[in-house]
Amino acid sequence: MNKKKKNILLLLLALACLAGAGAFYAYKEFNRKAEDLSSAKAAYQVTAVELIDAFTGNEAGGNAKYLSQVIEISGTLKKTDQDEKGNKILVLGDTTSMSSVRCSLDSLYGKAGVFEQGSLVKIKGICTGFMADDLGIGSDVILTRCIPVKQ
Amino acid sequence: MKKLFILITLFGLLGSAQAQNRFFTKTGKISFDATTPKSPENIDAVNKNSTCVLDSKTGDIQFSVLMKGFEFDRALMMEHFNENYAESDKFPKTIYKGIIVNNAAVNYSKDGSYPAKVKGKLTMHGETRDLETEGTLTIKNGKVAVSAIFPALLSDYRIGIPQLVADKVAKTAKITVDCTLEPLTK
C-alpha cells in the first residue's frame, strides 16, 4: 500500500516536471526574438554585382536561391542612407550602375561604425528579395538585419 | 541632320522634365496591424525598406514592399506570418498601384498639407483587388511626405485565418504608409 502511494506520488511529480518544462519551452518560444546574425553562418558568399546579376532578368530564380538565406556580400559602398531612427542602410554595388544591394544594418549595429564611401565593405545579412526596376529608379536586392563582417 | 538634332534635344528635354515630376524613396515605412481587442498581444510589423514612387504631374503613385522584410517583435510571429499567412516564398512582393484622384488640387511647389484621395489596385498574396483610401500629402522643402491607411480585408486576398484564432486576428488588416519622397534627379 505504502509502495503504491509512493509510486503515484512519483508519477505525479514527473508529470508536473514535464508540464513545467513544456510551459517553460512555450514561454521561451513565444518570446523568442529574431536571432543576431553575428554567429550565423552564411549560406552564400557573393559580390554585390553577382547578387544583382542573379536577380536581374530572373527574379524567380534569384528568389528560389537566395530568399531568407544568410548571405555574406562584398562590394563597393556607393552611399549610406538612413532610416528615420538613424539606422544606417549601406548601398553596395557598381558605382556606374543604378542597381544596388541595399543592406539595412541590424539596430544593434545600426548607428555605430564609420563606413567610407567608395571603400570595399563586407556584410552579412538576410536576403528579403528583389525590387525590380519598373519605375526608372534602379533595381535593388534587399538585405536586412545586416552586420559588418570583420576582415 | 538638323531635324535629328532637334528631335534629340526635344527628347532630352522631355526626359528631364519627366524626371523632375517624379518623387521617390527606397526607405519608406509601411506597417501593418491585425490586432483585435481579443488578441493576447499586438499583431503588428514594420517594413522600412519600402519603395514608393509618385508622379506629381499625373498623380500616379506606387508602393512596393517585400513581405520578408517585415520586422516583428517576436520571431515566432514572423515565422507564422511568412509561412502560414502571407506565404512569402510564393508571393514575395506586395504592390499597390494607384492614382491620386484630386491630384490637380495639390500644389507640389508650395509647402503645405493636402488631403489626398487615392484609387487603385493592391496585389497581395497573388490576388489583385481594387482599394481606395484617403490620406495626406505634406509638401515641405521640396519633399513630399505621404501618409495613409489602407484597410485590407484579408479574405479578399485569400489569406485564411485558422478557426482556432479567428477572433484573435483582425479580419481587416490596417496597412499604414508613412513615406518621405525626394525628387528624382538623374
B101-150: pLDDT as tens digits: 999 999 999 999 999 999 999 999 999 999 999 999 999 999 999 999 99
CATH number for the region A37-148 comes to 2.40.50.140
Check if A5 contacts B (Cβ < 8 Å): no
Query: DSSP alpha helices (H): ranges in chain B?
Result: 2-20, 75-80
Closest Cβ opposite residue B26 in set A29, A102, A136: A102
Which amino acid would we find at residue B81? F
Check if B24 contacts A (Cβ < 8 Å): yes
Pairing label, strands B22-33, B44-55: antiparallel
Check if A28 contacts B (Cβ < 8 Å): no
Distance from the Cα of A46 to chain B's closest Cα (Å) equals 20
Q: Do A81 and B26 touch (CB under 8 A)?
A: yes
Reading the block at residue A126, the C-alpha cell is 538576410
Which amino acid would we find at residue A16? A
Which DSSP category does A27 fall into? H
- C-alpha to C-alpha distance for A82 and A92, rounded to whole angstroms: 14
Residue closest to B113 by CA, chosen among B147, B74, B86:
B147
Reading the block at residue B155, the C-alpha cell is 479574405
Check if B83 contacts A (Cβ < 8 Å): no
Check if B39 contacts A (Cβ < 8 Å): no
Q: Domain ranges in chain B?
A: 22-183
A2-34: pLDDT as tens digits: 888 899 999 999 999 999 999 999 888 888 887
Cβ-based contacts of B89 with chain A (< 8 Å): 63, 67-68
- C-alpha to C-alpha distance for A2 and B75, rounded to whole angstroms: 49
Residues with Cβ within 8 Å of residue B21, at least 6 apart in sequence: B55, B56, B57, B58
Tell me the percentage of chain B whose pLDDT exceeds 90: 80
* Beta bridge partner(s), residue A92: A77, A101
Cβ-based contacts of B29 with chain A (< 8 Å): 83-84
Which DSSP category does B35 fall into? -
pLDDT over 70 at B10, yes or no? no
- What SS3 class is residue B176? strand
Cβ-based contacts of A103 with chain B (< 8 Å): none
Closest Cβ opposite residue A67 in set B75, B89, B184: B89
CATH class of B22-183: mainly beta
A48-93: pLDDT as tens digits: 999 999 999 899 999 999 999 999 999 999 999 887 778 889 999 9
Closest Cβ opposite residue A31 in set B26, B69, B74: B74
Report the predicted TM-score, pTM, of the whole model to 2 decimal places: 0.83
